[in-house]
A and B are shown apart, each in its own frame.
Chain A
Amino acid sequence: MASLKRSIERDPLAANISSKVYVRSTKSGKVQKIVREVYLRQDIPCSSKLCRSCLTTAPKDAAGRTIPFVLSEDPAGTSAFPQGHYLVPDTNALLSAMDLFEQSSAFYDVVILQIVLEELRNRSLPLYNRLIGLTKSEDKRFYVFFNEFRLETHVARGDGESVNDRNDRAVRKAVAWYAEHLGRIKGKKAPAIVMLSNDRDNLRKARQEGLHACSLGGYVKQLKDGDRLLDMIPDTEDREIVKDKRPGDNLYPEYFTISKMMTGVKSGLLHQGIFGVSPYNYLEGSIRVPAFPKALLVLGRENINRAVDGDLVVIEVLPKDQWKEPSTQVIEEEAVTKNENPDTEASEDFISEKERKALQEDVKRTHSKTTEGHAQPTARVVGVAKRNWRQYVGHIDQSSISQSGQQGRKQDSVFVIPMDKKIPKIRLRTRQVAELLGKRILVTIDSWDRSSRHPSGHFVRSLGELETKAAETEALLLEYDVQYRPFPKTVLDCLPKEGHDWKVPASLEDPGWKDREDLRGLLICSIDPIGCQDIDDALHCKPLPNGNLEVGVHIADVSHFVKPGNAMDTEASIRGTTVYLVDKRIDMLPMLLGTDLCSLKPYVERYAFSVLWEMTPDANIVNSRFTKSVIKSREAFSYEQAQLRVDDVSQQDELTLSIRSLLALSRKLKQKRMDAGALSLSSPEVKVQMESETSDPIDVKTKEHLDTMSLVEEFMLLANTSVAAKIYDAFPQTAILRRHAAPPKTNFDELSNQLRVKRGLELSVESSRALADSLDACVDPKEPFFNTLIRVMATRCMMSAEYFCSGTQAYPEFRHYGLASEIYTHFTSPIRRYADLVAHRQLAAAIEYEAVHPSVRSRGRLEAVCKNINVRHRNAQLAGRASIAYYVGQALRGKATEEDGFVMKVFSNGFVVLVPRFGIESLIRLRDLAEQEPQATYDAETYTLTAEGSREIKVELFQKVRVKVTDQKDETTGKRGVKMELVKTL
C-alpha cells in the first residue's frame, strides 16, 4: 500500500514544498489548527546592486520590469569591517533599539528578514510600522528579504526545537547564505554580512558557524559617533541583573495573565479602560469604563501599578471600605520625590515617607467626613492590555545627577522629567550627562519592572537648548504627535503639474467644467482673520425678484485636487488637520494647494463647492441646493475690515449691502439656534502679538468678538447642517458626521453643587436648553466676568465633540448638544480638516457629480479615519493652546503685572486662579503665600481655604483676587511658565 503522505525521497519536487503548522485562536474562542503550504523558490533576489546573477532571475512584473535593487554596491564600512558591510538584525535588536536604525548617521544597507519582520509585527505593532516606514524610505536602503520563501534559506523546524531557536537559526542561515552568495561575485571584495543580535547564545552560535556577528553595543562602538549612539541601546545586561534580584524586592504587584484578564473583562468582574492621570496629583488616576456612569479613581502608586497615562488597562474595583474621595491636595511628583537617587532606588521603601504623609491627609479627611456618600469607588490596576507609550519630551533632572557623573564618560543613571506632568519620571542611563543637561531631549520608555520604582527608558535625541524657540516648538509638536516633517516626494508628485500657474480652464468645454455651474457673475467675498492665507469659504447674498434672498456659501473645492487613495490623500488622512501654533502653521495639505490653488483668493477664478439657499427675509429656508461651481471672489476681507465697512453708513455699494443683509440674516439664524437651546460656551481665548520681524512675542490680548465673526460662523453652521442632512440622506450607513454627546448629569454634579453652596444658584442640566437658560441666569451684577467664568467651567464638564460614521450610531445619538442641532458635520474647511474633505466627496457623490469612491463608502475605513481625526483634532487643539501658553510666558518675560483673577478650584493646600486678561490659569500653593507655609484649614463643604499663622487669608471659590503675574522658569520642569502671587483678595 502506497503511503498517502508526501514523501521526500520519491517526489523530486518535494524539496520545493514545505509547510507551516500553527494554532490560531479566533476572537469568538475557536481554536483551529492551521496548515499552510510554503512553496519555496529560487528567484527571490538578494537585492544587492553588486549581484549580477539575481538580476537575471529576479521576477518581473507585467511590464517586464524588475523591482530596482536596494542594497548599495559600495556600503559604508566600520572599523571592524573596512570593506563595507550589510547588516542583518534579528528581532530583538529591532525591538530594543529601533531608534538606532532610524539614525541618519549610520545604519544603512540593512537586510530585514521576513521572519524578523513577522516576529516584530507580533511583538509590537508600532515598531513594525516604523520599520515598514524605514523599508519604504529610499535613502536608508532597507531591504525586506523573504528568507522563508527562498529555497536556500528556508529552515524547517527541528524536533524539539523551540520557535525562537528555529527563528534564530533561520536568521543565521540567511546571513550565511548572503555571505556565500555575495562571496561568489568575482572581482570585487564582497561586503561583510553582519548579524546584529543581543542574544548571547545566538551570537556564540553565529561565530561558531564562522559568521560575522556583533552585539548592538559592540557594533555601535565601531561607528564614529558610537558614544552618542550607545545611549540609545537599552541596557539589557542591566536588566538581567535586575532579574536576579530576590523576589521580595518586587515593589509592584504582578499583573494578571492575559487569559485571566480576558475572562474577567468578559464576565464583567474586571473592567477595561484608558488610564488617565490627574493633572494636579500624580498619584491619582481615573478610568472611565463603560460599566459605570462615573469614572473610577485609582489612588496611590501601588494601585496605579505601573500604568502610564494613556495606557489601556484592566482594573478591578476595590471593596467599599477602601473607597475614597478624590484628593483635594495638589501633589506634584517633583516635589515629593525630589531627592531620590536613580542608582540606589531599590534600597528605599517602596512608598516613600513623604508620599505616605500625603496619603495620610486623605485618610484623615475621609474619616472625619460626616457625609459618607461622598466617597467614590476606587479601583486598582491589575494588568495592562495595551501600552500606549510613545516618545516623551523632557529634560534631565539636575538633582538626580551624581557627583561622579559630571565628569568622565561613564554610564550614569539620571532621571528625566517629562514635560507632560502626567508621565512619571523616567530613569535613563546615559554617558552624556554633561552634554544633555539643560537640553530638551526626547526619550522613550523601554520597560517598567516590578522591582523598579520608576520606568526605565533610553535617550533618543536632543532637540536643543531649553527655552529656545526651535526646541520648544519641536517639543510641542512631538508631545502632541503632530506630523511636522516636510511632505515627502510622493505627496508632492500628486500636485497639479502647472504649479502656481494653474488656472480654471478658459474653455467651457474642458472636462474640469463638466457639471460645474458658472457662478463667476455673483458678488462673492470672503471674511477671515487677518493674514489668513488658506481661505476655505466665501459668501454671497442676492435679492431675488420674489422678495426672498439667495444666499450662497462657497467652499474651496479641495476634493478636485486631492483624489481619494493617492499619496496626498493618505498623508492628509494621517495628518487629519492643520495645526495652528502662534508662530507656525503645520499644514494638512501642501502649500501650493492650501494657500493658492484651493484657497478662494480674491480677483481670481477658483473651483468651489457651493451651497445655495433661497431664504425668506426671516431667515427661513425655502429650498437649498448643492453644486460644484466656478467662482470669482470680489474681495477678501478681514473681520475688522468687514466690520468697518458694514458700520460705515456711507458705503452703499452692492457688496457692502449684501454683507449687511447677510449680517441681518445671521442674527436671525443665531436667535433661532439659541431658541432651540444652543449653548454659548466659552473658553478663555487670547492672542499673542508678535514683533513682525523677529516674531518675538510682545503682548497678549484677549480676542475681541465682532459681529462679522458670528456672521461667518452662522452661515458655516447652516451649510454644515444642510450638508449633513444631505449626505445622511444619500448614505445612511456611511455618512461622515459630527456629534456632541449630551454630557452625563454627573459631570455637572460638582459645579452645580459649588454654585448652590457659594451663590445659591441652580444649574439645571436636563437639556441643553435648560442648561443654556440656567447659565444665562448665572450672573453676578457686580462682576460681569462671573458669567464667563461659569461658562468656562461648564465647558470643561462637557463631552468633546467627535466625528463618526453614521452607521455606528442610532439617529437620536447624532445630536450635536452644543449647537442643539439634530445632525451636523464639517464641510466648510476642507483645506485644513480631513473630515470636510470626506464630506465633500460624499456630497459630490450624493449630487451625482461623481461616482462613489470605495473609500468613502467603506464603513470600516471611515471608522478608522474618524478615530484618527478625532485624536488629531484634539491634539491640534492642545498643541495650539500649549503654544499660546508658551508664548504668553515668553511675552511676560521680565515683566511683572498685577491683574484681576478668579478662583476656579480650591485644594487643601492651594488654589487655582484664572486670569482672563491672559487666558491663563495657574496654581497658587499655600507655601507660596508666605515665607513659612501658613497653617490652613480647608472646608470642603463650602470650598473655603482659611490660612492662619504667617499669613491670614481666606480664599473662596469664585472669589475675585488680585494677583501679581510674573514669569518664572520652573527649575524642575524646565518650562518657563507663569507664576502668580496672591496680592490680595477682592
Chain B
Amino acid sequence: MASTQHALLSPAELAYLHAALSLTPPIRPDGRSPAQFRPLVAETGILPGTNGSARICFADGTEAIVGVKAEVERTRGGYEGEIVEGGGAEEVVTDVNDEEKKGESDWVEMTVEIPGLRDDDATTAFLGAMISEALLADGGFSRRLWINRRFHWKLYLDILLISPPLSYPLPLLSLTTHLALLATRLPRLKSEGDEDPFFDDDWAAARYLYPRNKKDGKTTARPPVTLLVMAVGNNIIFDPAKEELAVADVALAVSIGEDATTAATATGDDASLMMDVDSTTAAAAITSARNLRLLSIRTIDPPSRLTPSGVPNATNTAYGAATTQKQPEARTAEAEAVEGVWRAPRGGAKPLVMAALVHKVLEKGGIADEVLDALHAVDLG
C-alpha cells in the first residue's frame, strides 16, 4: 500500500538523502534527532456541538481536526423479554461484572477525510482502518461504550485533515483522534440496570469517556496512538517527513495503548484480568512504568519501494522484467550499487531491525513515553 505519491526528487537527491540518513548518527534534512517529533500545537474543545473535539497543527503546516459525536443505540441481540427484574419488584438488577461488558467493533464509526482524495480512495480507507484498528484492537475501547445489556453508545469519529497532505498524515490524525477522545464526554447515566437509559440533562455532570484522576485532572487510561517509524539501514527514525519516507528501507505504523493501571499501583487481580483481556488480542503486553501495550503493527509501503520515475521498462519489474531471463547482464548491471545513484531497496525488512523498532517505541523513556507525556500537557478543559 503506497503511503503517498512520489516525492518529486531526483535519483541523486534520493541517494543523498539515503546516505545522510544511514550515517551514525543520521542527519535528517530538517535537522531533527532520530527520535524527535516535529513540533506541534494542540487544543481541545474547539467544536462546542460535539461530545469531544481536538485540533493539532504540525509545524510543517499540516493540520487536522477531529470531532466525536455519540448517540444512544439499542444493542442488537440485546435481549428484550428478560427485563423482568428491570420492571419488576424488589429484585435489584445485579451488577454486571466487567467481563460481561462486551463491546462490538461496529459501535465506532470512523470517517477520514483527506483533501483532494475521494473518500473511497485506498489511502483514505487504509488510514481509517489503521486508526480504528488501534482503537478496537483490545476491545477495551468499545467496552467503554457499554451502557447496559440493552443499550450502548455509538461513537461517530469524524477525522478531517484540513491542510493538503504534505506528509503522510497518519501520526497527525492519530494524535488528534487521541486528544479528541480524551476530551470526549458522555451524558451521565441516571437510570439503573437494564432500564431504558435516562440521562442527566446537566452537561457539566457529563462523564469523560476516559475518566480522570481527581487530583491532577489527568487520565489514567488513555486511547491508543499510532506512531510512524521508519528505518534506513540500521538507523531508526521517528515521525519521518515526506522526503525521509521516500528513501525508507522499511516503514511501520505502531499502535500503542496505555492501560488504566500503572505497574506501580496494579494489584494482582487487575493484572491478571488484564492478562486475560490481552490474551484475546494478538499483541503481546510489555509492562513498563507506563504500562504501555503494543496493540498493532502495520508495515507501510514507503514510496521508496515503488519504482522511481525514469527507470526503463526493461528493468521495471512491474513490466515483467523480473520474469524475463533474456537479459541476465542487465540484471547484474543493475544489481551493482553505484555511489550517488538511487536504487530502490529490495527485499523485506530485517527481523532485527523490526525488533529494534518495536523495542525503541516501547522502551521506558522511549518515544511513546515522550509523545504521551507531551499530550498529557495539553489542556483538556
Residues of A near any B CB (own CB < 8 A): 1, 3-5, 19, 21-25, 29-31, 33, 35, 157, 161, 163, 257-260, 262-264, 266-267, 269-270, 316
Q: Which of B13-21, B174-182, B201-209, B268-276 contacts A (4 or more CB under 8 A)?
A: B201-209
Whether the pair A30, B204 counts as a contact (CB closer than 8 A) is no
A14 to chain B, nearest CB (A): 14
Judged by a CB distance under 8 angstroms, whether B86 is at the interface is: yes
Closest 5 CB pairs between A and B?
A: A264-B87, A259-B191, A259-B198, A269-B87, A263-B195
Judged by a CB distance under 8 angstroms, whether B41 is at the interface is: yes
Judged by a CB distance under 8 angstroms, whether B71 is at the interface is: yes
Whether the pair A5, B72 counts as a contact (CB closer than 8 A) is no
Judged by a CB distance under 8 angstroms, whether B346 is at the interface is: no
Q: Which of B42-50, B105-113, B248-256, B321-329 contacts A (4 or more CB under 8 A)?
A: B42-50
- How many residue pairs link A and B with beta carbons under 8 A? The number is 99
B82 to chain A, nearest CB (A): 10
Whether the pair B43, A260 counts as a contact (CB closer than 8 A) is no
Closest to B82 in A: A267
Q: List 5 A-B contacts (CB under 8 A).
A: A19-B48, A21-B203, A29-B74, A259-B191, A267-B87
Closest to B193 in A: A260
Whether the pair A266, B206 counts as a contact (CB closer than 8 A) is no
A101 to chain B, nearest CB (A): 27
Contacts A33-B51, A33-B203, A259-B196; A23 near B45 (Cβ below 8 A): no
Q: Is the interface of A mostly helix, strand, loop or mixed?
A: mixed
Residues of B near any A CB (own CB < 8 A): 41, 43, 45-46, 48-51, 55, 57, 63, 70-72, 74, 80, 83-84, 86-89, 187, 190-204, 206
Whether the pair B196, A23 counts as a contact (CB closer than 8 A) is no
Closest to B51 in A: A33
Which residues of chain B come closer than 8 Å to A30, judged between CB atoms? 71-72
Which residues of chain B come closer than 8 Å to A161, judged between CB atoms? 204
What is the bound-complex CA distance between A264 and B193, given in angstroms?
A: 12
Which residues of chain B come closer than 8 Å to A24, judged between CB atoms? 201
Whether the pair B46, A5 counts as a contact (CB closer than 8 A) is yes
Whether the pair B55, A31 counts as a contact (CB closer than 8 A) is no
Selected from B74, B80, B191, the residue in CB contact (under 8 A) with A260 is B191
What is the bound-complex CA distance between A3 and B65, given in angstroms?
A: 12
Which residues of chain A come closer than 8 Å to B201, judged between CB atoms? 22-25
What is the bound-complex CA distance between A4 and B72, given in angstroms?
A: 29
Whether the pair B203, A23 counts as a contact (CB closer than 8 A) is yes
Closest to A163 in B: B202
What is the bound-complex CA distance between A263 and B87, given in angstroms?
A: 7
Whether the pair B195, A260 counts as a contact (CB closer than 8 A) is yes
Closest to B83 in A: A267
What is the bound-complex CA distance between A256 and B200, given in angstroms?
A: 17
Whether the pair B198, A258 counts as a contact (CB closer than 8 A) is yes
Which residues of chain A come closer than 8 Å to B45, judged between CB atoms? 5
Closest to B185 in A: A33
A123 to chain B, nearest CB (A): 13
Whether the pair A21, B57 counts as a contact (CB closer than 8 A) is no
Selected from B49, B57, B84, B195, the residue in CB contact (under 8 A) with A33 is B49
A91 to chain B, nearest CB (A): 16
B195 to chain A, nearest CB (A): 4
Closest to A5 in B: B46
What is the bound-complex CA distance between A163 and B191, given in angstroms?
A: 20
Whether the pair A3, B43 counts as a contact (CB closer than 8 A) is yes
Which residues of chain B come closer than 8 Å to A33, judged between CB atoms? 49-51, 187, 203, 206
Which residues of chain A come closer than 8 Å to B49, judged between CB atoms? 33, 35
Which residues of chain B come closer than 8 Å to A22, judged between CB atoms? 201-203
Which residues of chain B come closer than 8 Å to A262, judged between CB atoms? 195-196, 198
What is the bound-complex CA distance between A789 and B87, given in angstroms?
A: 45
Which residues of chain B come closer than 8 Å to A258, judged between CB atoms? 198
A548 to chain B, nearest CB (A): 65
What is the bound-complex CA distance between A1 and B162, given in angstroms?
A: 14
Whether the pair A1, B41 counts as a contact (CB closer than 8 A) is yes
Interface centre among A31, A258, A264, A316 (most CB of B within 10 A): A31
Whether the pair B46, A266 counts as a contact (CB closer than 8 A) is no
Whether the pair A270, B199 counts as a contact (CB closer than 8 A) is no
Contacts A5-B45, A35-B48, A263-B83; A257 near B191 (Cβ below 8 A): yes
Which residues of chain A come closer than 8 Å to B206, judged between CB atoms? 23, 33
Closest to B53 in A: A4
Contacts A4-B55, A30-B71; A264 near B48 (Cβ below 8 A): no
